Structure 1
Amino acid sequence: MPKTIEVLKGSCVTIPCSFDVDDQYNGPVVFDSSNPQHKQKGQLIGDLTKKDCTTTLNDMQPQNNKVHNFRLECDNNLKYYFNGVKISVKDDPPRPTLTPPTLKVKEGTSVSLNCSAPAPCLSLPPNLTWSPGLGEGQETLQENQDKTKVKISVLNFKASHLHHRQEISCTAVYRKQDGSTEFTQRTTVSVSPSGPVQEDTNVTLTCSANANPAVKNYTWYRADGGQETFMGTGRVLNIKASRERGPFFCKAENELGSIHGASTIIPYCPLYVSVILPVFIATIVVFLVLVCALLFVIR
């Protein structure tokens, strides 16, 4: 059984599980296969008669970031539990692994590239695509040692001079249970001007996404506690620096899906900072005048 499983927010997670009779365990119930009214929706897909307690939990959200324990209860006093699995819910899908990362071959040589991506939700495994299109990848769903699944695509082609220094990429597209998709690409946010800025100064945020196909829409948000406040659309966002300095992040979207960019916080200096020095100097001047006046009176 895995110790940790990462899952995309809004998707499901299939937790591999097997058991033997063991000690009792009492704790808060997250999912009960015999109670359809339970808050956490899921499905026991394993065969308990074969000691298979594999379970799928649906619509994973940030509040599901916790350790989940399984417990088996029978009509008699028999109960069983085992070490829990940590569910880690992510806003962005995991990046696929491409092997080998670099390759030196001769023209006419057969080339084989492997792209793999975790498949935490068995009913919604990722779709793997190759760019540029050098042929159809052969896809399989394989099992890791900890019983979790991984989607693998193998691309085979013959090397030619046209492939010299060519970059080949693999993209994993994950579907959510509401029908939307998320794809794995690199997205960054830059701030201009850089460094601390004075309050009420104009600030430009720029979103960059390394996406293929190209990005069609950019959307900006500000994180406000557990909420996302809409700020605007477009690759560039112009705002004024204020105490509400973020974090800000962008969402890049193309025909395959969308991804959230890294968040950024705008460092700023409040307006009153600029008047501290003049006030301090004025105080010193007044103090010196009073001292001189006092000395004059004493004489």
Structure 2
Amino acid sequence: MSSDNIHNFFNSAMPSLRSPMKMIGDLKRQNCTTLFSDINTTHSDKYYFRVENEQFRSTDMCDFLQINVQDSAWKPSVHLSGVKKEHQTVSINCSALTPCPHSPPKLTWNLQQEPPQNLVQTPDGTFSTSIQHSLTLSDKHHGLEVICAAVYPGTGGHRRAQATLPLSVDYSPKDTSLWLKANPSLSVGEKVNMSCSSRAWPPVHSFSWFRVSSQGPQRVYGGQIYSFIFNSTTQGEYFCQAKNQVGQQNSPTIKLQTEDANTGIGPYTVLKICGVAVLFTALLLILCVNERLSDQILSPHDIFVGPVRDPEPAEAVPGGQASCESSLHVVDEILTR
């Protein structure tokens, strides 16, 4: 009954009294529970317990029950237990207050479909609905948001609330890579710039550079960017290493060498070959032009004569001697040339 409006809200002796409350259990054995059903915001009030037994009547005015009915769902809570580090298995729990055990909320989350739900009673006597999931952590879970939703049933429609838990997972460096701002086939005296990158949590706190030798990898520099002048003493295989509090990872190796040492042809070599080819082609063109000009002046077919020998006695023909002398003069000119 309410102390503000002195009237019976519930009377076990009057079942006809319309009330969303009923008492279950055995009061004589001091084992009973008061159950509200179809409750709404109008039922927010102070409630007092009264006992009536013939001549004995008593109301507990000092120990009342304050009930506050809200028109929204209770926000669930999400907790994680365990070490938040890669390769470690943790337990994630989502729980929601359950004021009506016979009509508990339905819990769902983005970790699994249709998780089994457990109704438990807390030490203070209230009830709670919970779901649980075990998860082996990796770098893929870093930054993942665990979303748990609670849907409370009701005659006026369902009420929904949700909670999120962002995961922060410690993991060693991943995807460590090396970037060279040049061609691996280098010229002596050329400047080399190499940079190293990686992802990790906590972030990478140190980068180191190694050169592979016959004695094994030798550390040559510390820092994310490594710059040097290339020469015969700095050629070889290099790799970088990223490190954080969790672990470390090496990048693939890269081989720096001179153009002559490369099995392929470097850009400078190509230019040299092209230059020589152009010069050789120009010389051939000049020779061909000179030869063609010579052919036009003295063609072998035009000036060829038989072997030089003494002429047979010629008939006294006018002009015959002059013709022979002319031929001999041409042959003599060719031989002279």
Q: Which has the higher contact order (CA 8 A, sep 6+)?
A: 1
Under a length normalisation based on structure 2, what TM-score does the superposition of the two structures give?
Answer: 0.42
After TM superposition, the score normalised by the length of structure 1 is 0.47
Task: Flag the structure with higher helix content.
Answer: 2
Point out the structure with max Rg over C-alpha: 2
